[in-house]
Chains A and B, each alone.
Chain A
């Protein structure tokens, strides 16, 4: 048997590592807007059905100039902020309880499965009866809509904490409260935070539904109003505001995530 000579092997590690490409999203946005504007200018998109980016920008500009943009944003941010905080806080508490205690889990899973799929929008008339047509019904719509996804993500995050880490803490003789504080909660944090991203987006979707009921101001109310009045350029300007709000909330959550998970 001949001794096989050592064979040099190329380094196969690396990759699968997201690295920032700051210019890419801007370029993609610019390309989409450019193509859209060109299609409008060439008359391929009738302005009745699909106004050009310039027209939408003009509508957004006049909305900002009138001072109404601030009022709409303020009203919506208040509803989203309060509704999401209530829904996410309650959802986090219930989800963690379900992850930690067998009893809470045994009761919680079927209850959540039964209530999660109820369409909150279909319950709006009921919310009018329960909470009236003022702010409470709007906040409740958003809170209820964000509660269930938060429960599911928090419960799943606790469930996914590696068992061997918990066993190790136990073998070192840590008390239960310490294990929860030092192992389970930090281990569940990434899952909880990605759940927050989803529930924040859901809050933005639901703000339009929440503002269907007697809202004078609000981005959702503005979108509904301009849709009813067939002012498509303004309708899309409202949608742009909602998208920008989504981007801003995503960026803030990204920062929070980076700070809270700096130990990774």
Chain B
């Protein structure tokens, strides 16, 4: 009897040893979908990883959690704050997250009803208009900056309204206190349908860019490289499954199951998730030149310290075949 108990205990502890515990900091948004799919469909488990999801309150908190050692990995949008932390050697990008990809719809430009009535109906008319953002240096700020650059006008400091949170930004465009914002899906469609604002274009059609990334601490890469390799492999499998089900024209056979999983983690409903799915590279490849361009833009706008070197921000060795490699 005792012997059986001892053997059973050994077996249990053996099974526990086989599973390496790790953690990832992230936001409960559809752009984190590969992580949710990886956890619930067993891709991480197949690599012997037990992944704890650590949900953060804001995009800025995600790389901070890596820097402070509260999580091993992180996925979120790329911001000025992220690049400053990366430049100080606190985080390093290893794979991609969501991307604004031509032909796919994710974030949308939403103008207030008042501005629309005044004739703001096209994406090339934002010059001099008041622009609602979460924060200076956010992904939203970057998109407006690149849009201005592309269309040949100057994004003035005075036209930007930093409102800190997405709910405040949505309230401001609904109330007409700002002329234009970018709305994360499916909020943008909902605002347009409810007549609280007008959707006049998609970010991907104007500024395709590498929106987010998967990253870890340089220390983790140096000391626990096999862990990072296993994690990225599982993440890639989840991204491939996501791609097969959502990005091949017709929905795949597991599309409904994946929608359920994403809805569960984002505290949403499958229909809403379906309307707001981002483009995810099937192999989690990065558009590397775009990362370099982002850092250059942030430096030019004095949001990122001039000392930050793009080469040290990305580690290209975990994913084969990254796109748009800089020469």
Contacts and interface: CB of A to CB of B under 8 A. Distances in A.
Nearest to A137: B177
B164 A229 contact: no
A129 B85 CA distance: 35
Interface residues of A, number: 22
Contact of A229 (B80, B163, B175): B80
B162 A229 contact: no
Contact of B171 (A128, A224, A230): A128
Contacts, number: 75
Nearest to B168: A125
Contacts of A231: 84, 305
Interface residues of B, number: 36
A125 B305 contact: no
Interface in A210-230: 212-216, 221, 224-225, 227-230
Given A125-B171, A228-B81, A214 B161 contact: yes
A230 B85 contact: yes
Given A228-B60, A228-B81, A128 B161 contact: no
Interface string A132-157: 11000000000000000000000000
Given A228-B60, A230-B60, A230-B81, A214 B88 contact: no
Contact of B90 (A48, A133, A215): A48
B138 interface: yes
B172 A128 contact: yes
Q: Tell me if A's interface is mostly helix, strand, loop or mixed.
A: loop
Contacts of A227: 60
Interface in B131-187: 132, 135-138, 157-158, 160-164, 167-168, 171-172, 175, 177-178
B287 to A, nearest CB: 23
B167 A125 contact: yes
A215 B162 CA distance: 7
A213 B169 CA distance: 10
B255 interface: no
B136 A128 contact: no
Given A125-B171, A213-B164, A230-B63, 14 more contacts: A48-B85, A48-B89, A49-B68, A124-B168, A212-B164, A214-B162, A214-B177, A216-B158, A225-B137, A228-B135, A229-B137, A229-B303, A230-B84, A230-B85
13 contacts: A48-B89, A125-B167, A128-B175, A128-B177, A132-B175, A133-B172, A133-B177, A212-B163, A215-B162, A225-B137, A228-B79, A229-B137, A230-B63
